[in-house]
């Protein structure tokens, strides 16, 4: 017997095809049985041996300390997070950047992805007066995981980036401030820094300008710092973190090698943190304790920041340089391509100008050859007008082993060449 029940509007929205759903399903299938698949599309961090050694040591310490172990597994923490953890994060960031954070400016969430679901729906959507407000993304392409976060439809207004071409095979995105319009319907501005998928890092000037605009319009500026400073530190250019009462800053433990603990950190005004705390209590009662317990001593001692500077940053920078050399060897001078400047995160963002097929079709061709990438189309949601550029890009991770990255890039070059008829 089958039941013909109906979903709510929100339920129907969850049934819709979405990039992040496809990505995680492909990732899950590949990690659970498709051993031949070259995983170059996921956002998994690398298992850096020196970093993993630190986490193994902390796990052993946690297991050996009966009181801490029992507290971690048996107790519910307050919905904002463990008070000792919040205090340690505030103290660490204040010391590093000269801020004036208090524990009440910080909340923990079950991963930064959850934090954005809360933030977007707290700030945007339907208001009591009937007005529909939206989140402004001032630079597309932007993180695929935002796209389907709204409880209501169409909560994003996205502006195409300016493309600065830098030589034959390189380019960089910039915010088009001349076209940036902050209407009454805009509830907040949101950017990732470094940006997933492109590895773009908004300059200090761009961030400061966005900050001034948001302050003048009395709306928050949300900065997604999942790859940035001070941790995990996967950023290869100058980028000064900023925070003020009108700024909401998010951090994550995932790229430190702890994605399985689902530990995100939100820094904001007391009003924002109170709302996040309430959402945590309603949705999940409390947060995952494991990530907080593992990382707390390293935050208190400063080791987490040292690890980011001395282990994580150089690891990914070296991986990036090798990956770019594989691209140069595989693509040569005959295949048209451009790479975004690799300023942070752990992705190569390819642009194939005038590509005769969409990157959705390219993705399918590569998948048949056991290479999993992410088509660029998924990162250009919320645009008012069609943009050919959105069908000419793919995201490739270089967090996998050198052999996988090298083999995958060679196969990508072969399929791109076929698409151009070369």
The mean pLDDT value for 99-104 works out to: 97
Structural domain contains residue 60: no
The pLDDT value recorded for residue 18 is: 59
pLDDT surpasses 80 at 35: no
Claim to verify: residue 276 and residue 317 sit in the same structural domain: no
| 198 belongs to a structural domain | yes
Beta-sheet pairing, 264-267 with 247-252: antiparallel
In a domain, 59, yes or no: no
- Which DSSP helix (H) or strand (E) runs through 374? strand 374-375
230 shares its domain with 376: no
- Strands (DSSP E) contained in 100-230 are 106-109, 125-126, 132-140, 156-160, 162-165, 170-174, 186-192, 221-224
* Per-residue model confidence (pLDDT) at position 70: 87
Around Cβ 27, how many Cβ atoms within 10 Å?
A: 18
Q: Cα–Cα distance between 278 and 275 in angstroms, integer?
A: 5
39-43, 127-131, 389-393: which has the minimum mean pLDDT?
39-43
User: Is the domain of 110 the same as that of 247?
Assistant: yes
405 shares its domain with 314: yes
Residue 194 has pLDDT above 80, yes or no: yes
Is 369 found in the same domain as 285?
A: no
Mean pLDDT, range 259-288, rounded to an integer: 95
The phi, psi pair for 110, rounded to 5°, reads -80, 70
| Whether 176 and 27 share a structural domain | no
User: Where residue 75 falls among pLDDT bands split at 50, 70, 90?
Assistant: confident
What pLDDT was estimated at residue 265?
98
Q: Are 144 and 197 in contact (CB under 8 A)?
A: yes
Residue 2 within a domain: no
pLDDT at 22: 63
- pLDDT value at position 71? 86
pLDDT higher than threshold 60 for residue 32: no
**Residue 155 and residue 294 in one domain:** yes
The number of domains in the chain is 2
pLDDT bin (cut points 50, 70, 90) of residue 3 is low
Q: Which of 304, 336, 365 is the last residue of a domain?
A: 304
Domain endpoint, select from 258, 278, 304: 304
Residue 105 belongs to a domain: yes
The answer on 274 and 393 residing in a single domain is no
Find the mean pLDDT for residues 227-237.
Answer: 96
Which pLDDT value is given to residue 29?
A: 60
* Tens-digit pLDDT profile for residues 331-364: 999 999 999 999 999 999 999 999 999 999 999 9
Q: Residue 216 belongs to a domain with what CATH number? A: 3.40.640.10
CATH of the domain at 27: 3.90.1150.10
For residue 36, the model assigns a pLDDT of: 77
Same domain? For 376 and 290 the reply is no
For range 111-130, the mean pLDDT: 94
Residue 65 lies in a domain: no
Lowest mean pLDDT among 8-17, 102-111, 243-252, 267-276: 8-17
pLDDT of residue 21: 62
Mean pLDDT, the chain, rounded, equals: 92
d(Cα 188, Cα 182) in Å, to the nearest integer?
9
Percent of the chain predicted with pLDDT > 70: 95
Residue 194: inside a domain, yes or no? yes
End-of-domain residue from the set 304, 324, 358: 304
CB of 101 within 8 A of CB of 244? no
Average pLDDT value for residue range 379-388: 93
CA distance 389 to 383: 12
Q: Which domain holds residue 413?
A: 9-51+307-420
**For 206-215, how does the pLDDT look when each residue is reduced to its tens digit (9 = 90+)?**
999 999 999 9
Is residue 332 situated within a structural domain? yes
Average of per-residue pLDDT across 375-404: 94
Asked whether residue 38 falls in the same domain as residue 87, the answer is: no
Report pLDDT for 7: 80
CA 376 to chain CA mean position, Å: 15
Q: Are residues 42 and 113 part of one domain?
A: no
Q: Are 349 and 297 members of one domain? A: no
| Predicted local distance difference test score (pLDDT) of residue 39 | 87
pLDDT at 27: 58
DSSP string, 286-325: S--SHHHHHHHHHHHHTHHHHHIIIIIHHHHHHHHHHHHH
């Amino acid at each position: 017997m089958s039941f013909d029940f109906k979903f709510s509007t929100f339920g129907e929205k969850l049934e819709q095809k979405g990039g992040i759903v496809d990505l995680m399903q492909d990732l899950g299938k590949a990690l659970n049985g498709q051993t031949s698949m070259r995983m170059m599309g996921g956002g998994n961090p690398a298992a850096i041996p020196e970093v993993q050694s630190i986490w193994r040591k902390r796990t052993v310490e946690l297991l050996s300390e009966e009181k801490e172990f029992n507290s971690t597994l048996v107790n519910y923490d307050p919905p904002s997070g463990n008070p000792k953890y919040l205090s340690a994060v505030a103290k660490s960031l204040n010391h590093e950047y000269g801020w004036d954070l208090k524990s009440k400016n910080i909340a923990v969430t079950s991963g930064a992805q959850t934090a954005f679901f809360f933030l977007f729906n707290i700030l945007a959507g339907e208001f009591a007066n009937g007005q529909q407000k939206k989140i402004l993304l001032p630079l597309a392409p932007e993180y695929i995981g935002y796209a389907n976060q709204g409880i209501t439809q169409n909560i994003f207004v996205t502006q195409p980036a300016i493309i600065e071409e830098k030589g034959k095979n390189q380019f960089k995105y910039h915010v088009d401030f001349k076209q940036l319009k902050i209407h009454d319907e805009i509830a907040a501005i949101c950017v990732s820094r470094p940006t997933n998928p492109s590895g773009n890092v908004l300059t200090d000037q761009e961030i400061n300008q966005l900050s001034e605009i948001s302050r003048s319009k009395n709306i928050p500026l949300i900065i997604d710092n999942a790859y940035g400073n001070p941790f995990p530190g996967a950023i290869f250019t100058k980028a000064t973190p900023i925070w003020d009462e009108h700024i909401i800053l998010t951090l994550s433990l995932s790229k430190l090698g702890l994605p399985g603990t689902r530990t995100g950190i939100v820094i904001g005004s007391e009003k924002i943190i109170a709302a996040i705390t309430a959402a945590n209590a309603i949705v999940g009662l409390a947060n995952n304790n494991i990530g907080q317990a593992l990382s707390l001593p390293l935050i208190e001692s400063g080791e987490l920041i040292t690890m980011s500077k001395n282990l994580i940053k150089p690891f990914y920078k070296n991986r990036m340089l090798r990956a770019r050399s594989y691209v140069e060897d595989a693509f040569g001078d005959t295949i048209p391509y451009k790479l975004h400047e690799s300023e942070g995160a752990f992705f190569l963002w390819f642009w194939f100008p005038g590509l005769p097929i969409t990157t959705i079709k390219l993705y399918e061709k590569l998948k048949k050859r056991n290479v999993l990438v992410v088509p660029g189309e998924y990162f250009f949601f919320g645009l008012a007008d069609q943009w050919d550029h959105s069908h000419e890009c793919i995201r490739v991770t270089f967090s996998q082993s050198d052999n996988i990255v090298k083999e995958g890039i060679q196969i990508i070059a072969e399929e791109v060449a076929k698409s151009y008829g070369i």
